[in-house]
Amino acid sequence: MNARPPIPLVVVGGYLGAGKTTLLNRLLANAQGLRITVLVNDFGEINIDAALIRARSDDVIQLENGCVCCSIGGRLAQALVAVADRGARPDLLVIEASGVSDPRRIAQIGLLDPAFRLNAVLVAVDAAAVHGSLRDPLVGEMVRQQIAGASVVAVTKTDLCDAGGAAAVAETVGTLAPRATVLDARDGDLPLSVFIDAAVPAPTATGVLQAQAGWHRPTPHAGIRSVAYQTGRGFDKARLRHALSTLPVRLLRAKGLVRLAGDPRLHEVHVVAGRMRMQALAHGESGQGGQVDQVDQSALVFIGAFDAAGADSIRACMASALA
Residue ranges making up the domain that contains 256: 208-320
| Domain-embedded: residue 2 | no
The CATH number given to whatever domain includes residue 246 is 3.30.1220.10
| Domain-embedded: residue 14 | yes
How confident is the prediction for the chain on average, in pLDDT? 78
For the cut 80, the answer to whether the pLDDT of residue 190 exceeds it is: yes
Rounded to an integer, the average pLDDT of 123-147 is 92
- CA–CA distance from 3 to each of 112, 244, 284, 293 (Å)? 17, 27, 11, 17
| Amino acid 243: pLDDT | 95
DSSP letter, residue 236:
P
Is residue 33 located within the same domain as residue 178? yes
For the cut 60, the answer to whether the pLDDT of residue 124 exceeds it is: yes
Is residue 282 located within the same domain as residue 187? no
Closest to 121 (Cα-Cα) out of 158, 151, 162: 151
Neighbours of 207 (CB within 10 A): 17
| Domain-embedded: residue 87 | yes
Please identify, among 194, 224, 243, the residue that sits at the C-terminal boundary of a domain: 194
Is residue 61 located within the same domain as residue 178? yes
| Domain-embedded: residue 73 | yes
- What interhelical angle do 237-245 and 308-320 show, nearest 10? 160
| Domain-embedded: residue 42 | yes
Is residue 42 located within the same domain as residue 119? yes
| Domain-embedded: residue 201 | no
pTM for the model: 0.75
Please identify, among 149, 172, 194, the residue that sits at the C-terminal boundary of a domain: 194
pLDDT tier at 290, thresholds 50, 70, 90: very low
Which of 197-211, 233-247, 287-301 is predicted with the least confidence, judged by mean pLDDT? 197-211
Of the chain, the percentage scoring pLDDT greater than 70 comes to: 76
Rounded to an integer, the average pLDDT of 179-207 is 71
Q: Three-state SS for 115? A: coil
Rounded to an integer, the average pLDDT of 34-53 is 60
Q: Can you tell me the distance from the alpha carbon of 227 to that of 136, in angstroms, rounded to the nearest whole number?
A: 41
Is residue 148 located within the same domain as residue 273? no
Which residues are CB-contacts of 37 (< 8 A; sequence separation ≥ 6)?
59, 60, 61, 83, 90, 92, 93, 94
Rounded to an integer, the average pLDDT of 75-91 is 84
Is residue 138 located within the same domain as residue 218? no
Please identify, among 167, 194, 221, the residue that sits at the C-terminal boundary of a domain: 194
The DSSP bridge pattern shows strands 116-126 and 7-13 to be parallel
Q: Can you tell me the distance from the alpha carbon of 295 to that of 226, in angstroms, rounded to the nearest whole number?
A: 22
Rounded to an integer, the average pLDDT of 33-46 is 69
| Domain-embedded: residue 226 | yes
DSSP-derived secondary structure for 16-39: TTSSHHHHHHHHHHT-TT--EEEE
Amino acid at 35: R
- Cβ atoms 100, 88 nearer than 8 A: no
Is residue 53 located within the same domain as residue 129? yes
Q: Can you tell me the distance from the alpha carbon of 13 to that of 122, in angstroms, rounded to the nearest whole number?
A: 6
Is residue 28 located within the same domain as residue 173? yes
Strand partners, 184: 155
| Amino acid 68: pLDDT | 42
Domains in the chain: how many in total?
2
Beta strand segments in 189-305, E = 225-231, 250-260, 263-272, 275-280, 298-305
- CA–CA distance from 288 to each of 19, 208, 255, 292 (Å)? 35, 10, 12, 10
| Domain-embedded: residue 203 | no
Is residue 229 located within the same domain as residue 182? no
Q: Can you tell me the distance from the alpha carbon of 266 to that of 245, in angstroms, rounded to the nearest whole number?
A: 20
* pLDDT tens-digit readout, 94-119: 988 878 778 888 888 777 778 888 99
The DSSP bridge pattern shows strands 225-231 and 181-184 to be unpaired
Strand partners, 266: 259
Is residue 299 located within the same domain as residue 247? yes
The CATH number given to whatever domain includes residue 86 is 3.40.50.300
Is residue 146 located within the same domain as residue 213? no
Amino acid at 256: G
Rounded to an integer, the average pLDDT of 257-280 is 88
Q: Can you tell me the distance from the alpha carbon of 157 to that of 165, in angstroms, rounded to the nearest whole number?
A: 11
Q: Can you tell me the distance from the alpha carbon of 268 to that of 254, in angstroms, rounded to the nearest whole number?
A: 11
Query: Of 31-40, 62-71, 282-291, which one has max mean pLDDT?
Result: 31-40
